[in-house]
Amino acid sequence: MGQTVLLFAILCSVLLCAETQFIIGRKVQFRKLAMCPGQRRPTLVFENVVFTRNEQGATTAISFMVYVKKRVERLTMSVTFWKCEDYEHMDSCEYYLKDYTSNDICELMGKKNQIWTPFMDNFSMPPRCPINVGNYTFAPTPINEKLLTILPLPNAFWKLQFKGNDTITGEYVSCVDVEFEIHSRRRN
C-alpha cells in the first residue's frame, strides 16, 4: 500500500514532470497521476499531489499525502503498462507489460543504496511492513533528471496502472493510474 507509493516513487516521482528534459534529448510530459476511478473504500488513499516547476515548466520536486485507513500486513503489487501511439490516438494502445506482480515490496522498500532510497528517505511512513493506519507525508523531493535515463521506454504515450493487495489477508489495498508521454526534444 505505502509500497504502492514506493513504486510510484520509483516510476512516477522519478518521471513526474510536465516537461522534464532527458539528458539524452527526450522529455516526458505527465498527463495524469490519480487514484483509479470507481474504487470502493480503498485502504490506501493517495492525494494532494504537488509538483514544483521551474521557469521552463520542468518539474523540480514532488510531494503528496498517503492516508492508510486499515493496517496492511504485507503488500503485493502488480503493474500494467500500455503503450499508445500518442495522446491523441488512445485507440492505438496495446499492452506492453501486463500484470507484472511483485510479492516482496516490503523487503524492497527498506533497502539502502537503491534508486528509490532518496524517495523513501523523504517519506514519513516507515519503510517496512506491516504498514500501520495513519497519515503519511511524502515531503517535497527533488527530481534528479539523470534518473530518467535509466528507464528504457521508447517515445510513446504511456498508461500505467498499479494495484495493491494485502498478501496475508488477500484484501484489496488500492489502485493508481499514471499517464505520461515521452517524446524527442525539438531541435532549433
For residue 74, give the 3-state DSSP assignment.
coil
* Per-residue confidence band for 22, with pLDDT thresholds at 50, 70 and 90: very low
Report the predicted TM-score, pTM, of the whole model to 2 decimal places.
0.78
Statement: residue 18 has pLDDT above 80: no
What pLDDT shows up at residue 32? Answer: 79
- Quick: pLDDT tens for 102-140: 998 888 888 988 878 888 899 999 999 999 999 999 998
What pLDDT shows up at residue 16? Answer: 37
Question: What is the rounded CA–CA span in Å between residue 39 and residue 52?
Answer: 28
Listed in sequence order, the residues at least 6 apart from 58 whose beta carbon sits closer than 8 Å to its beta carbon are 17, 18, 19, 20, 21, 145
Statement: residue 5 has pLDDT above 50: no
Higher pLDDT, 98 or 13: 98
- Quick: pLDDT tens for 145-159: 555 556 677 889 999
* Per-residue confidence band for 58, with pLDDT thresholds at 50, 70 and 90: low
Instruction: Outline where DSSP puts E strands in 36-171.
Output: 44-53, 59-68, 75-84, 94-102, 134-142, 156-166
What pLDDT shows up at residue 4? Answer: 40
| Ranges of each domain in the chain | 27-184
Query: At the topology level of CATH, where does 27-184 sit?
Result: Ganglioside M2 Activator Protein; Chain: A, (2.70.220)
Question: What is the rounded CA–CA span in Å between residue 55 and residue 52?
Answer: 10
CB 129 within 8 A of CB 72: yes
